[in-house]
Structure 1
Amino acid sequence: MATVHHWTGLEARALRVALRLSVRAFAERLGVGVRTVSKWEKLLGGTEPRPDTQAILDTALARADAAVHLRFETALATDGNPGAGPARRITATGPRAWEYESWTDDLDRVAVALSRQNFAFADALLSRWLTRFTPVELDEAGLYLFARSTALLGDLSRDQGAVAGPRSAPHSYLAARSIFVQLDIPRRVAQLELSLAVVAEMSGKLEIAARRYDVLAVDERLSRRDRARARLWVGTALSKDGNHDYAARVMLEATRDFADLAEPDDWSVAHQKLALAHRGAGELSTALHFIGIARGSGSGSGVSDTPMQRVRLDTAHGHILLSDPGTRDDGLAVLDRAAMMAAHYGLRHQLRSIEGIKADGEGVSGPRRR
């Protein structure tokens, strides 16, 4: 999500535009005078809100959803470079202003489609824009949208388990990263480095992934939430590599961060990861305790209930049950249910993981229960 270190009228106007509010409605939202907002709109970068108002703007931006953040960054990319030279302006063959708005709206739809694992719809929306324009014909606002589209294409490929080849997640992430480097947006660059570390972990490059996560966990380019995610994923990579005890301690720190940040989705995922770390250490009672917390984070708790999350929870639960001879049959039943859902939604990486867990569990009594 976007953050602003120092507000001027330019950023304030971009936030108003992103929130789709009139000057009067924006003033009422912030609790400031209409004349104050009008002054920001007139002077833009030549004026600065007072410190207390800067804090109010920080809060308004922090509470906005992902779609508003995307429109905010696009508005800044469009308005923030009034002195850009002719080579950076929209050409006759490039997108017009109305197309930027349509493109931004489509990216909002892509984010929703990916959250629901509607991959075909997300792919169609992204292809609409990535095949329509090339980077050389775009100004900075267009390049930003092109990079965001390419990054989302990487998320699409990652969620489908495509981690190698020309349409793989790393290919898209690296392409998007190069554009954000060109645009000098370090936060987006760091987020893509985090995504590349996730793909390295998915590819079995656990030591490389853990090292990257460890560096990003203290990277000030990232938000506190993303740094906590990196810390959680350090633990995930360590656990997969057999270092379960240390992994659990690292994950517990991340879990506390998510609680402080009031991030219920990440908090639930962290308990799921903690459960698997304790399973690996042979502490099945503790593992069942943590997976119970993760599974109990249902409706009314603010945790999203998506096919991906249900598959992950069932996979973790089934893995733990399969590790105890007394609950082995129950574990297989849960894993079969997860496999059916993974196959239905095209979650190939999760399906391969489930098949691997079942294969490893054949004829193995599992770790001693504690």
Structure 2
Amino acid sequence: MATVHRWTGLEARALRLALRMSVRSFACHLGVGIRTISKWEKLLASTEPRQDTQAILDTALARADSAAHDRFDAFLSGQIVPLAGLHSGGPLAWEYESWSDDLDRAAVCLSRQDFTFAERLVRRWLGRFELSGLDDKGVYLYARSTALLGDLQRDQGAVLGPLSVQQSYASARWLFDRLGTPRRVAQLDLSLAVIAEMSGRLESAAQQYQSLAGDERLSRRDRARAQLWVGTALSKSGSHGHASRVMVAATKEFEDLEEPEDWSVAHQKLALAHRGAGDLPRALHFIGIARSTAASDTPMQRVRLETAHGHILLSDPATRDDGLNILDKAARMACQFGLSHQLASIEDIRAKEKSA
């Protein structure tokens, strides 16, 4: 295990890098000021921390795991270089791997609606390097990070404003286009169409979905999703019959692709289209299929399913109270997990019910 007889800024910086922390997080970890860390980073071996800080660094090193000790030894022995100018250049080999791993972890956290940890994992890398200093691999990871940040903002309902999902998706799209990755660009086009729909621009969203449903840059599954969302936009604009026909075609495509989660979501969308058309028996039939076959049990999907179910039950005076109770439960879950867009949808349904 590595030991340090006398700490200088050089060893302190090696420890920070070994722990994979930013200057700010390392300062918090040690309980010292950011300016102190910056001074060590600038002066390296020509400066020594104070005696009490030496002990703090000893403790931080002792508590580090074995992998961090290995990285610390490698930094000091020169096996990993450079120690200076890291942030003005690109990531080191182990940082590429850690960055990619963190993005995979962030995607899992996002699927579980653990927004706080997902955002922490994404932003630690977005704030670590200057984009201008990254090579193509680094730019690709930066673009993935930005797109994931957009997914997080979308699920939290941050649709409008300069720090919204629209900006994140547009930035990620520009980076993937710069890298010449057409499938990623098309996926971001699809995500931007979703945001258009969430923002109430239904005609624009339907047109974008229609174009992407036949876009060969996308996978067959993504094209089927675009087709399903054409139906969603049509249903929201009142074209329920046309919407149902489009959705049925997408549902068959998901069945052929053996995509049970998308297949279940398609039945949920079909149920709402039939509710809009006033065919409550078929609406209840399809929402029953969606609820019994849902492949995902995430809070987001539970809220969406229960919101759809409650909305359908509200349409019949005989089941109105049941519908209100289900919407109340969905609203509580939406609040618990910070699903503000879903909560706004529930409030809109309640408001329309009161005014009816």
- TM-score category of the 2 structures, normalised to the smaller one: 0.7 to 0.9
Residue 329 of structure 1 pairs with residue 329 of structure 2: no
CA contact (8 A) 2:251 2:263 kept: yes
Measured in 1, the distance between the counterparts of 2:354 and 2:318 equals 14
Q: Look up the match of 1:173.
A: 169
Partner in structure 1 of residue 113 of structure 2: 117
Structure 1 unaligned blocks of 5 or more: 1-89, 365-370
| Structure 1 consecutive aligned stretches of length 4 or more whose deviation exceeds 2 Å | 90-93
- For normalisation by structure 2, the TM-score amounts to 0.75
- Of 336, 341, 353, which aligns to 2:345? 353
Structure 2's unaligned 5+ residue stretches are 1-85
- State which of 308, 311, 319 in structure 2 corresponds to 1:319: 311
TM-fit CA distance, 1:94: 1.7
Aligned pairs, how many?
271
C-alpha distance in structure 2 between counterparts of 1:104 and 1:308, whole Å = 25
Structure-to-structure mapping, 1:35-74, within 5 angstroms: none
Tell me the equivalent position of 2:245: 249
TM-score when normalising by structure 1: 0.72
Matching residue's letter, 1:140: D
Q: CA deviation at 1:167?
A: 1.8
Whether the 8 Å contact between 2:87 and 2:128 is mirrored in structure 1 is: no
Separation (CA, whole Å) in 2 of partners of 1:229 and 1:167? 27
Q: Which of 249, 257, 268 is 1:272 aligned to?
A: 268
Please show how residues 132-171 of structure 1 align to structure 2 within 5 Å: 132-171=128-167
2:211 counterpart of 1:218 = no
Distance 1:264 1:153 in 2: 26
> Does residue 261 in structure 1 map to residue 253 in structure 2?
no
Q: In 2, Cα distance between the equivalents of 1:92 and 1:351? A: 43
Deviations 1:283-313 (A, max 9, x none): 0000000000000015xxxx12100000000
> How far off its partner does 1:92 sit?
6.5
Preserved contact between residue 91 and residue 138 of structure 1 (Cα < 8 Å): no
Identity %: 69
Q: Report deviation, 1:135.
A: 1.4
Larger Rg: 2
Report deviation, 1:363.
Answer: 5.2
| C-alpha distance after superposition, 1:126-162 (max 9, x if no partner) | 1100000121110000000000000000000000001
1:33-86 superposed Cα distances (whole Å, 9 cap, x missing partner): xxxxxxxxxxxxxxxxxxxxxxxxxxxxxxxxxxxxxxxxxxxxxxxxxxxxxx
Amino acid at match of 1:237: A
User: Tell me, what secondary structure is at the counterpart of 1:362?
Assistant: helix
Structure 1 residue aligned with 2:184? 188
8 A contact 2:306–2:326 mirrored in 1:
yes
Q: Offset at 1:165?
A: 1.3
